[in-house]
């Protein structure tokens, strides 16, 4: 029995994919005490599987064991779907409703085998609240590493209102038109408990809207306060400026030239391409027609193709790629469904092997949730976030999607009840 008075959890048999990139291997015994993995390999002599009072045994014979998935790009408090009687725009106009909805959404995320998420932007400080409620044990949910509203200047993505309206509290952008205003916003968000700062340049990368000095000012202030900085940057200029200013990771970077990517590689900064949202919109546009999707499908296709190239180039240049989906960005990206689709795209579109894609989504993604060396690998001393699958993800990477082949999800050493009432989809449909 562990010091916490909790049963020892023992996972026997099955095939272990440990997240490190080592080949899949036969598992004898993974011992979990409290919220940490105590040992892997041979069954330790002091652990007795027949001691049902103190040991809970999961038999994974014929199954596959791997670290819990990490989605490095998942929004929790965007305003989709809109609710009757609410104002239009990206945020439901009440923080109370947004918080409750977010709390429900993360249940679906966890039950899809996603034990950690990085949240690059949302409304109010909803995500901070949901993160803390999970951390304090008020409810179940994935580990969350969260940003606040994105720092933008006039004309950037998420500066959607006319200038006389600015960026209202329910929007996901926060206008700051000088380095001083940006630094003040970093301090404000830090005070309210964010883990990182999200900056955002232009929507499609056609022009650079954040100056290198402004990015550097944010990085300086954020790093002094132990906050990280991520930036939405599709353009070449903004990607180079972000690399030179020392941001912690770059989201998209699809228009970066080879020389810009060399600068990113030299700075050792990872890129989070995020092709899933684009793939979903392109697929849907093909099915229901572009006008129904209300997004520029040709622009989406261009970004998608460029991201495939980026994935292949990054692999050659040694740029680490993070795996994220933009789930929750839109009603096309429902919670629980798509968190592993990016791995399929890494394999089919970006030239990764299934094992490389798994390592990216586990071991490497730990960086995007501030837990490198703590989650993302099954090894002694790591936090016990583990999933057990009925099918082999190396043979077919798509089986990781939607939680359909999961038999167990363990987060922080606790077994998640996959049979818990699950009516969020019905709720979503009713609300639309």
CB of 343 to Zn ion, least distance (A): 18
**Strand ranges inside 237-279, DSSP E:** 249-252, 271-272
- List the one residue out of 409, 339, 273, 412 whose CA is nearest residue 74: 339
| Helices and strands (H and E) in the chain: how many | 12, 19
Cβ 136 to Zn ion, closest distance in Å?
26
Instruction: Return the range that interacts with Zn ion (CB under 5 A); candidates 53-61, 171-179, 213-221, 324-332.
Output: 324-332
Among 326, 337, 356, 412, binds Zn ion (CB under 5 A): 326
Least distance (Å) from Zn ion to the CB of residue 278?
11
> 8 or 329: whose CB is closer to Zn ion?
329
CA distance 123 to 97: 11
> Within 10 A of 399 (CB to CB), how many other CB atoms are there?
19
Rg of the Cα trace of the chain? 21
Q: Show the site string, 379-408: x = touches Zn ion by CB under 5 A, - = not.
A: ------------------------------
Region from 97-105, 127-135, 172-180, 328-336 binding Zn ion, contact rule CB under 5 A: 328-336
Q: Which is nearer to Zn ion, 234 or 411 (CB)?
A: 234
Least CB distance to Zn ion at residue 75 (A): 6
Q: Which is nearer to Zn ion, 15 or 233 (CB)?
A: 233
CB atoms within 10 A of CB 43: 15
Q: How many residues bind Zn ion (CB under 5 A)?
A: 2
Length of the chain: 432
Closest CB to Zn ion: residue number: 326
What SS3 class is residue 159? coil
Q: What CA–CA distance (Å, rounded) separates 282 from 303?
A: 11
Instruction: Classify 360 as helix, strand or coil.
Output: helix
Q: Which of helix, strand or coil describes residue 358?
A: helix
Contact characters 329-348, Zn ion, x per CB under 5 A: x-------------------
326 or 337: whose CB is closer to Zn ion? 326
113 vs 120 by CB, closer to Zn ion: 120
Phi and psi, residue 19, nearest 5°: 90, -10
Q: Between 78 and 125, name the residue whose CB sits nearer to Zn ion.
A: 78
Q: How far apart are CA 317 and CA 403, in angstroms?
A: 33
Closest to Zn ion by CB, 341 or 382: 341
- Shortest Å distance, C-beta 54 to Zn ion: 45
Q: Tell the smallest beta-carbon distance from residue 333 to Zn ion (Å).
A: 9
- Rounded Cα distance, 214 and 149, in Å: 17
The contact set with Zn ion (CB under 5 A) reads: 326, 329
């Amino acid at each position: 029995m562990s010091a916490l008075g909790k049963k020892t959890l023992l996972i026997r048999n099955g095939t272990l994919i440990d997240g490190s990139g080592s080949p899949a291997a036969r598992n004898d015994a993974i011992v979990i005490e409290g919220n940490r993995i105590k040992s892997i390999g041979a069954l330790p002599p002091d652990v007795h599987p027949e001691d049902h009072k103190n040991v809970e045994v999961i038999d994974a014979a014929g199954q596959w064991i791997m670290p819990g998935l990490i989605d490095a790009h998942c929004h929790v408090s965007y305003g989709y779907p809109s609710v009757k009687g609410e104002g239009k725009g990206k945020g439901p106009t009440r923080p109370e409703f947004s918080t409750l909805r977010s709390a429900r959404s993360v249940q679906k995320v966890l039950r899809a085998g996603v034990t950690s998420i990085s949240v690059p932007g949302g409304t109010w400080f909803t995500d901070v609240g949901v993160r803390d409620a999970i951390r304090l044990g008020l409810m179940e949910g994935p580990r969350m590493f969260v940003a606040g509203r994105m720092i933008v200047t006039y004309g950037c993505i998420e500066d959607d209102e006319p200038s006389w309206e600015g960026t209202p509290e329910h929007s996901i952008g926060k206008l700051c038109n000088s380095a001083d205003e940006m630094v003040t916003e970093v301090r404000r968000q830090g005070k309210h408990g964010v883990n990182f700062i999200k900056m955002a340049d232009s929507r499609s990368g056609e022009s650079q809207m954040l100056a290198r000095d402004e990015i550097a000012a944010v990085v300086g202030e954020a790093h002094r306060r132990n906050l990280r900085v991520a930036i939405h940057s599709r353009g070449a200029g903004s990607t180079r400026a972000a690399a030179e200013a020392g941001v912690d990771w770059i989201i998209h970077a699809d228009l970066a030239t080879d020389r810009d990517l060399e600068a990113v590689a030299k700075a050792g900064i990872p890129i989070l391409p995020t092709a899933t949202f684009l793939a979903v919109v392109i697929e849907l546009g093909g099915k229901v027609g572009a006008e129904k999707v209300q997004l520029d499908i040709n622009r989406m296709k261009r970004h998608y193709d460029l991201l495939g190239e980026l994935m292949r180039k990054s692999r050659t240049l040694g740029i680490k790629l993070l795996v994220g989906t933009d789930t929750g960005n839109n009603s096309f990206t429902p919670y629980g469904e798509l968190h592993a689709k990016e791995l399929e795209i890494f394999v089919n579109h970006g030239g990764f092997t299934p094992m490389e894609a798994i390592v990216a989504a586990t071991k490497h993604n730990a960086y995007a949730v501030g837990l490198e060396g703590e989650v993302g690998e099954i090894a002694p001393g790591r936090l016990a976030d583990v999933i057990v699958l009925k099918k082999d993800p190396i043979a077919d990477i798509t089986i990781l999607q939607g939680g359909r082949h999961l038999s167990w999800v363990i987060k922080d050493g606790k077994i998640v009840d996959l049979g818990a009432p699950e009516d969020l989809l019905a709720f979503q449909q009713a609300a639309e």
